[in-house]
Chain A
Amino acid sequence: MTASRTPPRGEWVQHLQKIRDHRDQAAFAEVFQHFAPRVKSFLMKSGASDTLAEEAMQEALAAVWQKAHLFDPSRASPATWIFTIARNRKIDALRKQNRPEPEDLPWGPEAEPDQTDVLALAQETRKLAQAMAELPQKQRELIEQAYYGDLSHSEIAAQTGLPLGTIKSRLRLALDRLRHRMK
């Protein structure tokens, strides 16, 4: 595959929406090119062999296509959404366990997300990535250890030093709005 520019985060939202609405293969090819190597690297850091990671990565990216209609940009950035798919493949492939997921949110044609919420979440996501980049090395390592499965739940320290308060309030607001619309 040829190297191409990386679109700004917001543009991946449009890519996923093109896949959802028009089954757009060109958009999918670009999503694949950006995320496939990252998903595979994430799976290998979580303990998968090269072969297993390659296989699970392909399944995860296929699920991105299949599940595009479930992507809600007011609740997750494209990277976050793809992370949740990759994580579930990891549990399935590496730990051979079922993963109980929370009940779905009410949805329907009215549930098309509020554009203000989408933009606000994109902004908060950028701020979070920035904050993570600025964390002291030691704290950063703790978060990576928790996510790559090197810590059990009782070893995880609550104080990761990450400022999640604002993004949490944003997401809560978006949920309230969604529930209100669906009443």
Chain B
Amino acid sequence: MTQINHHLSEELLIAYSAGTLPEAFNLVVATHISLCDTCRAALDAQDAVGGALLDESPDAVVGDDAYAKTLALIADQNTTPVQHPRISDGVLPSPLQEYVGGDIDAIRWKSAGLGVQQAILKTSKDAKVRLLRIPAGAAVPDHGHRGTELTLVLQGAFRDEADRFGRGDLEVANEDVEHMPVAEVGEDCICLAATDAPLKFNSLVPRLAQSFLRI
């Protein structure tokens, strides 16, 4: 595992454990945890809170035939083959590969202008997630946020005013963050970025491009 310095916030861990995040955010969280044992342990701990709540839940009345029906479900499913563990040795961890349909070579990039490429992944509509490829040394247009934006680095690295983000690092940006990430020289930076509201760009041209970019 690589050295990861920027982790999931406690809010995100609780919401992922509770199952209340939009699908796009779930994908970023699941991809980060695939790379980060610190957050995997933190999620397991958070799930234990859910387990304690479940264990203390008052008993609901289950149907008289509930047990028989469950056994029937099991009998129906008994032909399902045992699934092999999902373990990736590529650049993209397994949960992301399942959305892309393969590793990094399978990404269908489209130009997003200024040398930046993107690939929007299909999820439920309550938030959006896309892959971004920023040329080594290039900047992503200056933007602020209306909602929450999660950016997870998969290859290369970027820097903003505050910090450096390498593979596995997750940046959580909220409404009060305005930043201009710059990809480090040496290697194109590939990130997975999710937003629950459109970005707001600070200059006119990107604003015009926004409807075209669908971000």
Contact = CB atoms under 8 A, between A and B. Distances in A.
B86 to A, nearest CB: 5
B45 interface: yes
Nearest to B50: A83
A57 B51 contact: no
Interface residues of B, number: 70
Contacts, number: 214
A173 B70 CA distance: 36
Task: Say which size band chain A's interface belongs to.
Answer: 35 or more
A29 B71 CA distance: 10
B25 A44 contact: no
A45 B58 CA distance: 10
Interface in A81-108: 81-84, 86-88, 90-91, 95-107
Contact of B52 (A37, A107, A125): A125
A124 B123 CA distance: 37
Contact of A103 (B19, B51, B58, B88): B88
B82 A69 contact: yes
A164 B31 CA distance: 23
A132 B40 CA distance: 22
Interface in B97-149: 98-99, 123-124, 147-148
B47 A40 contact: no
A103 B202 CA distance: 37
B67 A146 contact: no
A73 B50 CA distance: 16
Interface of A: 1, 29, 32, 35-42, 44-45, 53-54, 57-59, 61-62, 65-66, 69, 75-77, 79-84, 86-88, 90-91, 95-107, 124-125, 128-129, 132-133, 143-144, 146-149, 151-154, 156-158, 160, 162, 164, 167-169, 171-172, 175-176, 179
Nearest to A107: B85
B51 A77 contact: yes
B11 A79 contact: no
B152 interface: no
B2 to A, nearest CB: 13
Given A29-B67, A40-B62, A100-B99, A172 B37 contact: yes
Given A41-B60, A104-B85, A146 B18 contact: yes
5 contacts: A69-B82, A79-B51, A87-B17, A153-B21, A169-B41
Nearest to A82: B54
Contact of B47 (A66, A80, A105, A129): A80
A12 B31 CA distance: 31
A47 to B, nearest CB: 11
